[in-house]
Structure 1
């Protein structure tokens, strides 16, 4: 039996990636697509490579009052654009919000699927983590759970691809400005830091204070988080803790050598690794994800699988794209 799903914000990068994954999902059936600038177009007009069975689906103008019968709705809207409208979606429709409006909001499960799958199973409202938290928290969780690092004063250096800015980015993210350029931004007050800090506190039981130092790099997709922590653990202790923590988890790879963004491209995988110097009380954690995969649509599909009682890996078994 198929599960009827819809995507809001389908013309954006996150919505387009959700379409790619759902189109090949063994159980999900895309029956509704909505957008603003693309409303009235057929899917094939916007996505020429879409499967023939979906080609003639017309993109609707987003209106929660006119939804067809759905089981699951994926919302990929800019932060600030989804809270009011999604409040008018019928309770019977499960929602995975890829945007930022419902992270740590009452009534919404925080969808950090690789770390807290049991908090997501059977829920009706799930807020996807941001792309930076997906990379950062996956690397930090084992160290915090085993108290190998101090939860406070963590410095998170993030290199991110251009698509993280979304399809509606201004000229700052155009080819001429981004090519052969490295751009720091949001250095002292990044939008994802409160979400990261709150999760660190839950994982560690202690108070968290830290700093995100993001840099835009001239690549389309990918995130590498290099995280500087205080702790006396060795590299081996960190790797062993991560292997224990993620034993049996399908999407996290613990590697001895530093991970690269290309390893995750086009997939729902997360790669973590560590380097530690006990003499300097220093632990460096590294996390890599595809910002449109695990950082957005991939984890959204993983969360939808969990809330629908499906195998967690359904529709997400594809290998990364290489080269």
Structure 2
């Protein structure tokens, strides 16, 4: 039995980690932190976890890391760099924030508006898109979880770039995401009255996950790739649906995706012409991918749906942690999606 600490356990991704680890046969929770709610019980912060026997929330500086094998950092962006820098070097770390996702510190500074504060750690961080980097993730000390929007688009596109079956200069990603992607902190734009009964684009041409697309698409294609990406806020709690428009033949695209993901336990390519739905992956670590030929010859639409809090964040983090700890990759992640 290995022991994990969750730093930032009072947020949505922290709570999801607790929920997933609760049924994990090889991992237990040894510490939970939440600075503003230190001293509280997890059941008081998240009543749906009342049935679990969990340690009380505490401050990071009060955790005995000598008893911990791996740390999940579910902290706000721009805070994790300094926290990880102070952790014991023998600890394995899975970061769910954006702090270590971008390999080039200059690119990070351009997109996030400040210099990177842990350059030595950035140099050793491994990008946490499990299905594409598992060989590097397994021996890593620090793994940087992907953005949830970024992961959704990458699952639809990366094999196609690697197999050269689409035009790298014609990739358009329209994506709709649930409100929980904005986190649990109170924000005017996340209020029920601001979100319900509406649908709108946000961070148009400026979303920070664009930097991840640029980084990973360019590596897959072996050349510079700049895509178009527009996120939309959907009036739902969970789920992401990406619609990707590409130039390429639908049959070749479907074959490429089916071949690449044939052995993957969580990535499922639907029969040609079928499209995925967020309700069919809700609460799970699964991602459904669909391919539909456009009415115009040589144009294709690729769809991907996943749960932003699970496969897009905490489930992916646990999948990576399993690899890092030498545990079966799917442990704690076998639950079927919740339906209806």
Whether TM exceeds 0.5 here: the answer is yes
Structure 2 partner of 1:177: 194
Structure 1 partner of 2:95: 97
The SS at the match of 1:74 is strand
Distance in 2 separating the partners of 1:308 and 1:172: 39
Structure 1 partner of 2:161: 144
1:69 aligned to 2:70? no
Structure 1 partner of 2:276: 259
Structure 2 partner of 1:27: 26
Distance in 2 separating the partners of 1:192 and 1:64: 34
The SS at the match of 1:304 is helix
Structure 2 stretches of 5 or more lacking a match?
104-121
Structure 1 stretches of 5 or more lacking a match?
none
Distance in 2 separating the partners of 1:12 and 1:52: 19
**Which of 289-298 and 148-157 deviates more?**
148-157
Alignment of 1:124-273 (within 5 A): 124-231=141-248, 233=249, 235-256=250-271, 257-273=274-290
Verify the 8 A CA contact 2:239 2:282 in the aligned structure 1. yes
Q: How many residues align?
A: 319
Q: What's the CA shift for 1:169?
A: 4.3
The SS at the match of 2:322 is helix
The SS at the match of 1:106 is helix
Verify the 8 A CA contact 1:157 1:225 in the aligned structure 2. yes
Distance in 1 separating the partners of 2:63 and 2:32: 14
Structure 2 partner of 1:47: 46
Distance in 2 separating the partners of 1:280 and 1:106: 44
Distance of aligned partners of 1:174 and 1:278 in 2 relative to their CA distance in 1, 3 Å threshold: closer
Distance in 1 separating the partners of 2:48 and 2:66: 25
Verify the 8 A CA contact 1:152 1:207 in the aligned structure 2. no
Output the TM-score relative to the length of structure 1. 0.94
Verify the 8 A CA contact 2:70 2:91 in the aligned structure 1. yes
Structure that is richer in helix per residue: 2
Distance of aligned partners of 1:65 and 1:32 in 2 relative to their CA distance in 1, 3 Å threshold: closer
**Which of 249-258 and 43-52 deviates more?**
43-52
Q: What's the CA shift for 1:280?
A: 4.2
Structure 1 partner of 2:80: 82
Q: What's the CA shift for 1:120?
A: 1.0
Distance of aligned partners of 1:202 and 1:134 in 2 relative to their CA distance in 1, 3 Å threshold: same
Q: What's the CA shift for 1:236?
A: 2.2
Q: What's the CA shift for 1:49?
A: 3.6
Verify the 8 A CA contact 1:13 1:166 in the aligned structure 2. yes
Distance in 2 separating the partners of 1:53 and 1:287: 33
Distance in 2 separating the partners of 1:281 and 1:206: 22
Verify the 8 A CA contact 2:65 2:88 in the aligned structure 1. no
Structure 2 partner of 1:300: 317
